[in-house]
Amino acid sequence: MSALRDRRLQLAVVLGAAAAMAAVLVGASLIGAREDGSVPPPAAAPALEPEPSLFAGIEQSGTALGSPAAPVTLVEYADLQCPYCAQWARDALPTLVDDYVRAGKLRIVFHGLAFIGPDSNKALRTAVAAGRENHLWDVVHGLYLSQGAENAGWVTDSLVREIVHGVPGLEPDTLLDGRWQKTIDPELERFAAAAKAAGVQGTPAFQVGPTGGRLERVEVASLDPEGIVPAIEAALAR
């Protein structure tokens, strides 16, 4: 568990006041492995084709994936540029979707943070805009599978169009325009406030608990399914 904690991307969550409105901001401080260079982050994953079929037939509502009647909720805190978040999406998420979400046992909620840099903000705003069309998870997973080098400008319009292609009900031009609307800002503030309240210090981070009830922070021992499945099973057994 400590090894994974040392490797995660770390952040500091702070409150601040924006010029036009009171806002909750996330300030970045990449420490741990990235501070002394002893454990470099993994190389960026090669661009892969998104897998819209992963979520086919599963209810999406805003930031949530799965039935609102599912007995357990898992909240994921992540930066879409975080390589460890992408690893979790590739290695653990498909198993959770197939074994728990499709079975109506689990609902997963995405809380995005944007602390690594400009591409984080661009990617997150794109995902939130997709959430307004109830397709956030298609876009989030597509971005993870195509994740590029940090702040290299990899969140391009052409990439977004490629991800959106084949997702029924999601129109790329509407998505690309909608992500810059000011109405997206309160959602980003809500994510940051939730992360601060939960004491999130690095990504990926998770909370698990009864749907509609108290969620508890979970320290995962690995980024494969076995890192999170025990916590889900424990919550289901309560």
Which domains are assigned to the chain?
A: 2-237 (3.40.30.10)
Q: Do 6 and 110 meet the contact criterion of CB atoms below 8 Å apart?
A: no
DSSP 97: I
- 3-state SS assignment for residue 43: coil
- For residue 107, the tally of other CB atoms under 10 A from its CB is 22
Contacts of residues 36-39 at CB distance under 8 Å and 24 or more positions apart, as own/partner, are 39/6, 39/7
Identify the pLDDT of residue 48.
Answer: 46
What value does the mean pLDDT take over residues 73-90?
98
CB within 8 Å of 89: residues ≥ 6 apart: 140, 141, 144, 145
Dihedral through CA 208, CA 64, CA 124, CA 116, nearest 10? 10
What distance in Å separates the CA atoms of residue 106 and residue 121, rounded to the nearest whole number? 28
- 42 band by pLDDT with thresholds 50, 70 and 90: very low
- 3-state SS assignment for residue 115: coil
Q: Give 24 or 151, the one with higher predicted confidence.
A: 151
- For residue 233, the tally of other CB atoms under 10 A from its CB is 13
Reported as a single tens digit per residue, the pLDDT across 106-164 is: 999 999 999 999 999 999 999 999 999 999 999 999 999 999 999 999 999 999 999 99
Q: Give 210 or 13, the one with higher predicted confidence.
A: 210
Identify the pLDDT of residue 205.
Answer: 98
Name residue 103's beta-bridge partners.
none
- 3-state SS assignment for residue 96: helix
DSSP result, 130-193: HHTTT-HHHHHHHHHHT--STTSS---HHHHHHHHTT-TT--HHHHHHHTTSGGGHHHHHHHHH
CB within 8 Å of 72: residues ≥ 6 apart: 100, 105, 106, 107, 208, 209, 210, 211, 232, 235, 236
b vs e for 115-136, b when ≥16 Cβ sit within 10 Å of the residue's Cβ? bbeebbbbbbbbbbbbbbbbbb
CA diameter of the chain: 47
Q: Give 5 or 211, the one with higher predicted confidence.
A: 211
Q: Do 187 and 128 meet the contact criterion of CB atoms below 8 Å apart?
A: yes
- 10 band by pLDDT with thresholds 50, 70 and 90: confident
pLDDT averaged over the chain? 84
